[in-house]
Amino acid sequence: MFVLASWRASQDLSGGQTLSSAPGTNLGALALQVDPREERDGMRAILGSYDSEMTQAEYSPQLTRRVREAEDMVQKVHAHSTEMEAQLTQALEELGGQKQRADMLEMELKMLKSQPGSAESSFPFCREEVDTLRLKVEELEGERSRLEQEKKMLELQLERCTLQGDYDQSRTKVLHMSMNPTSAAKQRLREDRDQLQEECERLRGLVRALERGGPIPADLEASSSLPSSKEVAELRKQVESAELKNQRLKEVFQTKIQEFRKVCYTLTGYQIDVTTESQYRLTSQYAEHKTDCLIFKATGPSGSKMQLLETEFSRSVPELIELHLLRQDSIPAFLSSLTLDLFSRQTAA
């Protein structure tokens, strides 16, 4: 340990003497003179001599830890020296750039000092001229933008006119055919338009005459295909007579239908009502409640087949359904048995 401390002290003293003896020495050259590898090799040589003097019993793990610390310190010194070299190189580059700039400024200053009067007199004139030219350039830029917009608009108008069939009469000559299909088509359109206008006027007069309710003028009656007022009156009478006859037939049919329903209700004991299309509700006159009903649906063509739909009342007579509908396939027998069953319940009660 004493040998290591004395070696460090000697290195510090030698480094201090070198720095103090050469204050103007270049820092880059000084950093290059101190090589961390040589320092590390020297420290290892000293430690090796120290270890050779020690016996096996005096050897301690503490020596190994201190050696590692010394090596870490050498690596840090080496990294620090590398960083200092990079900073020194950057500073030298910046110094070279600043020196070049200073030289250029010094040359410009000399040139300005050699022409003091001409520079002072030319600067105001140059500034005024620059301002004037700048304003003129801005005006020209605005004029150019306006002219570009007008050019685009004129190009669009020219393209639209070209698509519409327009042409330059000073450069293009148009020959018209004696039998021009376009002229003939335009003539037909004009004739059709005039004819339609006359027809519209005639129809307007006819409508006004009909709205007034008076007789139709002779010219309108002859030109139109409408019947005369007498024929119209006759037709109205016929329509009224047909409507009256239709109303009487409806009343007769309604009366006959009600009569037929009452007869069916009296003979069969069931009131038949049409609920929806192809569905019929049967209510027995011996039913215990008003909601007790059967619903049949016509499934065959023209109602040739009927199907019993499930209701709350149909679920109360499963035996009759099983016997007469499923086994015997007879709806009249089922209805008759149901009528007898309901009748027996009322008479028994």
Mean residue pLDDT across the chain: 77
| Residue 58 confidence (pLDDT) | 53
Per residue in 95-141, pLDDT (tens digit) is 888 888 888 888 888 887 776 555 455 555 567 887 888 888 888 88
Q: Examine the pLDDT at 7 and tell me if it is beyond 50.
A: no
Residue 291 three-state SS: coil
pLDDT tier at 345, thresholds 50, 70, 90: confident
Q: Examine the pLDDT at 346 and tell me if it is beyond 60.
A: yes
| Residue 21 confidence (pLDDT) | 38
Per residue in 288-312, pLDDT (tens digit) is 888 999 999 988 777 678 899 999 9
Question: Mean per-residue pLDDT for 200-212?
Answer: 81
User: Is the pLDDT higher at 63 or at 104?
Assistant: 104
| Residue 228 confidence (pLDDT) | 64
Helices (H) and strands (E) in the chain, counts: 10, 4
Torsion angle (degrees, nearest 10) of CA 290, 291, 294, 299: 120
| Residue 126 confidence (pLDDT) | 67
pTM of this prediction? 0.35
Per residue in 9-61, pLDDT (tens digit) is 444 444 443 333 334 444 444 444 456 667 767 777 776 776 666 555 555 66
Torsion-angle region of residue 303: left (phi > 0), alpha (psi -120 to 50) or beta?
Answer: left
Whether the CB-CB separation of 3 and 46 falls below 8 Å is answered with yes
Please give the Cα distance from 279 to 295 (Å, whole number).
Answer: 7
How many C-beta atoms surround the C-beta of residue 155 within 10 A?
10
| Residue 62 confidence (pLDDT) | 64
User: Is the pLDDT higher at 349 or at 166?
Assistant: 166
Per residue in 215-253, pLDDT (tens digit) is 666 666 555 555 666 777 888 899 999 999 999 999 999
Q: Examine the pLDDT at 270 and tell me if it is beyond 90.
A: yes
Please give the Cα distance from 242 to 265 (Å, whole number).
Answer: 34
Instruction: Tell which residue, 303, 307, 299, 301, has the closest CA to residue 329.
Output: 307
Residue 91 three-state SS: helix
| Residue 22 confidence (pLDDT) | 38
